[in-house]
A and B are shown apart, each in its own frame.
Chain A
Amino acid sequence: MEMTGEYRIPASRETVWEALNDPEILKACIPGCQSLEKTADDAMSAVVQAKVGPVKATFNGNVTLQNLNPPTSYTIAGEGKGGVAGFAKGSADVNLAEHEGETLLSYTVSAQVGGKLAQLGSRLIDSTAKKYAEEFFSCLSEKVAGKQPEGGSAAGADAAAPKAAAAAPETKPAEAAPAEAEPEQKPESEHHESTFSEIEHEVEERFHEAEERLETEAGRGTLGGPWMWGLIAFAIVIVLLLIFN
């Protein structure tokens, strides 16, 4: 199955590219990431704990990067094994475009899940993946918002900061502005927490909604519906799992 999506990140393309290749940033931003290591220039391995509905598992994932065309595009292909919980595998074509000084990240994913993830998770993958995607991108945006591409670039610091603020309105300009200094852990983590709890709340709500829908509608729709949502949603998770590389 195929799915696409895009996300606007308030930083230059080079900065985003570097962040996407920075194991530390990825490790910090991938929800549930326990370890992430570069095993080669074009490969990473990671251990990520994910919970999809009733299925909680630790995935051992391996990812390779292909068709590298920095800082514009690449393809990431990977596979995660979660033991009894099943497996996930897929690939994503990731494209970075400059857009008004910011970066438009777009992706096309094909993904497959198996085992318990497919059996039990299909309807719950949706909300889980949204939660993970939000977490990852908001974290990534924050991390790169104030960062200059190393070695300098055309984009000025003064331009980057307000745009970051515009793109992430919930971020207080006061926090975003002094970004050139070493990142202030405290406000950032606070912000992270509040976003996280908001999302958690939203996910909870959506989960209950979904459960209610399941109660009344289980099986009444055709396959296409819920399964496709599930796959699409899971593909987002995969993108995340993959993008972390």
Chain B
Amino acid sequence: MGAEGFGARLMRKEDRRFVTGRGRYTDDIGLKDMTHGVFVRSPHAHAKIRSIDTSEAEKMPGVVGVLTGHDLAADKLGGLICGWMIHSKDGSPMKAGAHPALAADTVRYVGDAVAIVIAETRDQARDAAEAVAVDYEELPAVIDPAKAMDSGAPQIHPEAESNLIYDWTIGDEEATNAQFSNAAHVTSIDLINNRLVPNAMEPRAAIGSYDPAEEHFTLYNTSQNPHVARLVLSAFVGVAPEHKLRVIAPDVGGGFGSKIFIYPEETTCLWASKKIGGRPVKWVADRTEAFLTDAHGRDHVTKAELALDAEHRILGLRVRTIANLGAYMSTFSSSVPTYLYATLLSGQYAIPQIFAEVLAVYTNTTPVDAYRGAGRPEATFVVERLMETAAREVGLDPAEFRRKNFVRSFPHQTPVIMAYDAGDYEASLSAALEAADYAGFPARKAEAESRGKKRGIGLSCYIEACGIAPSQAVGSLGAGVGLWESAEVRVNPVGTIEVLTGTHSHGQSHETTFAQIINDRFGVPTDTVSIVHGDTDKVQFGMGTYGSRSAAVGLSAVYKALDKVEAKAKKIAAHLMEASEDDIVLENGTFQVAGTDKTLGFHEVALAAYTAHNLPEGMEPGLKETSFYDPTNFTFPAGSYVCEVEIDPDTGKTTIVQFVAADDFGRIINPMIVEGQVHGGLAQGIGQALLEGCVYEADTGQLITASFQDYCMPRADDLPSFKVMTTETVCPGNPLGVKGCGEAGAIGSPPALINALTDALGTNELSMPASPEKVWRALRSASSAAAA
């Protein structure tokens, strides 16, 4: 490991601009003659639009134009799409309703956009938006996914009867049922995975700019994947052909999945810029809009059963989940509760048979899509709550019960598609238990008891699938895109290097970690390396960043391009030093003829490649290579988390006494950055379990947790000082041996916390977020049950 290379705790290169306020976000960009757009949104969860009167608004000061869904329809702009086809168990394709960027006839959730008001200033647009008179005819709404399919529930899209989008299954139902009929013990559990609001620090924003002379559109927006945005806006929405549309995602302040998707707002801004004659239109969400319209996460209602034999080995798992997809299908929403969820239901365990059924439903709520972990937190919550519950029921130590059922030989094929390539679950569990002094817990519990406090300890052994994803595999499962990644490595004549990646960094530190890989390979200093991303005019087509894929897939593409650069550079160096190509070694930025003192600096070879005065016969000038990397398998980060809590029985307040995370992410490029990712993930997972709950008023569908006054984000004083550590099994699937670390914390932590709480409370009835009131009530019901 060099000072800057693989494994170095290199400080983040991007931090200088972020901490000095010099980041350049979408809202920092101003264009000539730019106008400002404000959306008029439905205050009703479900209503017919009788009429929209824009005449007053149009007369307001500074107003440039007011556009509605009818204008959009008249221009024959396509609706937004869901890009992953899921088929129901009867073979029928999912029932996707239309999703126009501006609703013309019906609104389906509070926040559904019905018009855009464009004015010279944002305040003028806001004032004028107040003057748009929309006459709604209210319709009954359904909010609870468990009630969406009830007879008499309001019909949200004509395409989806009973609001059922698909009824999908995975696994062998008959074989699984047979396992259950042979079971010595069956544990069953009912779970709700609470809906979450992503809350990236930077709200979504977009600038649409149309150049009438070139008939060319430019979109600046807060995107995790600008090329996919361009593809969808071009091929499906039909804003412009791809070569006439440039998408730029500059600095983006956090995404967590919510900025993967193609939303109504950027679509509308692009189209509106043309409608008003080519002036750019900027829209920046305020925090309320972010709450209302950023795709939400989770929202599952699940019943799950685990069958055990007499020796406490798992025989089978049966799961039935109702997944709430909200009022419209977001870009990848169909895949989250299916292939990103049910395929991980085997957890870290050898389970002979698994059968899962997932019913996805429409409700009159904000669309739901991928959010940090995307399906895998939901799967982990089911598996790890079940494991803990089963262990308690059969009287085994939860750690022992898990050990008994771990997958121990690799590769391991689960009954639900995934083939685990490498792992050592015993290693991470042992590391976590030791760090948490698991053996000493009874003494700590007794000590807490003496102070009148309730203590509990809970485990979670998660697994996830990252490195998304082998294109052929996902294609066969219904994905509308391939999930490879691209890279271009440009060595400049002076020897500095630009790496163009199709991934996008919005907090993941690519500018640092990618540069570390170049340093590792070539020995050139990281400050001579630039990482270029986020602009479809600069960077070759790529798939963006989500699912902890940037290192495993994106850097693997870079690695392949580096191979090509190195091979060509060695040819040039060999030619210049009159040596055999096989004798050239590249170390510390110097090409050397092995065993001699003949050397050439990296920059000298680069210059030679561009002067082209003396190149090997037939070689093209230049030193720039491109690569596409398509993974052969997912990667499988896994780990064990231990959470210990103390509850004040008088107030129900939970204090997290300690939280230990032992993760196996494969090889680690920058431990400091990985720790940061784990810390962030844990905070989000603990937030879900303890604090965050997105709540709609029943029946009316009003989002009543639409600000930080009502939606509780985790803060430093809610969290302990985490103990994080890593164990390592090298990922055999990619040249770097990396697995991905961005989502693990959010995936593994909720069940660990709830398992700790239920251990302390002595009751298994506790839903997330476990607010002090819920904990207090659970404690009371547990003690009254014990008394009775």
Contact = CB atoms under 8 A, between A and B. Distances in A.
**A and B: partners?**
yes
A27 to B, nearest CB: 24
B540 interface: no
Contacts of A162: none
B43 A86 contact: yes
A47 to B, nearest CB: 14
Contacts of B133: 83
A223 B130 contact: no
A118 B702 contact: yes
A34 to B, nearest CB: 16
B223 interface: no
B705 interface: yes
B40 interface: yes
B710 interface: yes
B709 A116 contact: no
Contacts of B44: 114
B288 interface: yes
A84 B704 contact: no
Which interface residue of A114, A120, A221, A230 has the most chain B CB atoms within 10 A?
A114
Given A114-B44, A122-B704, A219-B705, 15 more contacts: A83-B131, A84-B41, A85-B130, A113-B702, A114-B43, A114-B702, A119-B702, A120-B288, A214-B709, A218-B710, A219-B711, A220-B691, A220-B771, A221-B772, A226-B710
B773 A222 contact: yes
Which interface residue of A123, A218, A227 has the most chain B CB atoms within 10 A?
A218
Interface of B: 40-41, 43-44, 110, 126, 129-133, 288, 291-292, 691-693, 695, 697, 700, 702-713, 769, 771-774
B772 A220 contact: yes
Contacts of B126: 84
B711 A115 contact: no
A79 to B, nearest CB: 10
Nearest to A58: B130
A61 to B, nearest CB: 15
A218 B695 CA distance: 13
B712 A218 contact: yes
A112 interface: yes
Given A119-B704, A227-B704, A87 B43 contact: yes
Interface string A164-189: 00000000000000000000000000
List the 6 closest pairs (A to B, CB-CB), nearest first.
Answer: A219-B712, A115-B43, A119-B706, A118-B702, A114-B43, A83-B130
Contacts of A116: 43, 288
A116 B702 CA distance: 9
Contacts of A5: none
B67 to A, nearest CB: 17
Which interface residue of B693, B769, B771 has the most chain A CB atoms within 10 A?
B771
A24 to B, nearest CB: 29
A225 interface: yes
Contacts of B769: 219
A211 B542 CA distance: 46
B708 A119 contact: no
Nearest to B711: A219
A115 B695 contact: no
Nearest to A53: B709
5 contacts: A86-B43, A119-B292, A119-B703, A218-B710, A225-B773
What's the dominant secondary structure at chain B's contact region?
loop
A122 B710 contact: yes
Interface residues of A, number: 27
Nearest to A115: B43
Contacts of B772: 220-221
A222 B288 contact: no
A119 B695 contact: no
A222 B131 contact: no
Contacts of B130: 57, 83-85
B710 A118 contact: no
Contact of A119 (B291, B713, B771, B773): B291
Contacts, number: 87
Contact of B697 (A118, A214, A225): A118
A42 B735 CA distance: 80
A57 B133 CA distance: 14
Contacts of B710: 122-123, 218-219, 226-227
Interface string A95-117: 00000000000000000111110
Interface of A: 57, 83-87, 112-116, 118-120, 122-123, 214, 218-223, 225-227, 230
Contacts of A119: 110, 288, 291-292, 702-704, 706-707
Nearest to A120: B707
A87 B291 CA distance: 19
B43 A218 contact: no
B110 A114 contact: yes
Contacts of B292: 119
B689 to A, nearest CB: 13
Contact of B771 (A114, A122, A222): A222
A86 B774 CA distance: 31
B102 to A, nearest CB: 16
Contacts of A123: 709-710
A144 B712 CA distance: 46
Given A122-B710, A222-B774, A115 B110 contact: yes
B52 to A, nearest CB: 13
A121 to B, nearest CB: 10
Contacts of A86: 43
A113 B702 CA distance: 8
A115 B136 CA distance: 13
A119 B708 CA distance: 10
B697 A227 contact: yes
Contacts of A226: 710
Contacts of B700: 112, 114
A113 B45 CA distance: 12
A113 B704 CA distance: 10
B318 to A, nearest CB: 31
Nearest to B44: A114
Given A119-B288, A120-B288, A218 B697 contact: no
A221 B773 contact: yes
A218 B708 contact: yes
Which interface residue of B695, B702, B708, B773 has the most chain A CB atoms within 10 A?
B702
Nearest to B691: A219
A220 B712 contact: yes
Nearest to A219: B712
Contacts of A115: 43, 110, 702
Contacts of B693: 219, 223
Contacts of B288: 116, 119-120
B663 to A, nearest CB: 28
Nearest to A87: B43
A120 B708 CA distance: 9
B43 A221 contact: no
A226 B712 CA distance: 13
Nearest to A122: B704
Contacts of B711: 218-219
Contact of B704 (A87, A221, A223): A223
Contacts of A83: 130-133
Given A84-B40, A218-B712, A118 B704 contact: yes
Which interface residue of B693, B695, B709 has the most chain A CB atoms within 10 A?
B709
Contacts of B692: 219
B77 to A, nearest CB: 25
A28 to B, nearest CB: 27
A118 B133 CA distance: 19
A86 B695 CA distance: 18
A87 B136 CA distance: 12
B703 A118 contact: yes
B60 to A, nearest CB: 12
A206 B11 CA distance: 46
Contact of A223 (B129, B131, B695): B695
Nearest to B693: A219
A86 B704 CA distance: 13
Contacts of B132: 83
B553 to A, nearest CB: 36
B347 to A, nearest CB: 30
